[in-house]
């Protein structure tokens, strides 16, 4: 059984203004490089998704961080528009461009689109 991953831009306004389909090639190449075992890589207007075999999900957090860095490096214009910076007194400042979709309504909607693709 495969596990589906859905990612969207962190910045809500950017999600409404940016069409990720324009970056389809960059996103697909980065996902395929970070996760060679990924299947069904799909890019939509406001999110992208891919599937991994259940056994590959156990230790993928480092590869997900690398995927985020690769995407940011390939899309500098998008970073200027949509990247969020998080400050913390206990940890170094971090930047984030994409986040995993967790909201039930959006996740349901994204899963429907992904399944239909």
pTM confidence score = 0.87
Q: Where are the domains of the chain?
A: 2-116
Residue 77: pLDDT over 90: no
**Residues above pLDDT 70, as percent of the chain:** 98
For residue 90, give the DSSP letter.
S
Would you say 31 and 50 are in contact if contact means Cβ atoms under 8 Å apart?
Answer: yes
Would you say 42 and 49 are in contact if contact means Cβ atoms under 8 Å apart?
Answer: yes
**Cα–Cα nearest to 69, from 95, 41, 35:** 95
């Amino acid at each position: 059984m495969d596990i589906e991953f859905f990612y969207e831009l962190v910045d809500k306004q950017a999600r409404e203004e940016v069409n990720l389909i324009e970056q389809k090639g960059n996103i697909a190449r980065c996902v395929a490089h970070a996760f060679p075992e990924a299947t069904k890589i799909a890019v939509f207007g406001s999110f992208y998704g891919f599937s991994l075999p259940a056994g590959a999900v156990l230790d993928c957090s480092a590869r997900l961080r690398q995927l985020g860095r690769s995407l940011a490096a390939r899309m500098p214009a998008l970073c200027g528009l949509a990247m969020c910076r998080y400050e913390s007194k206990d940890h170094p400042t971090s930047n984030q461009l994409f986040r995993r979709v967790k909201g039930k309504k959006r996740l349901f909607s994204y899963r429907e689109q992904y399944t239909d693709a």
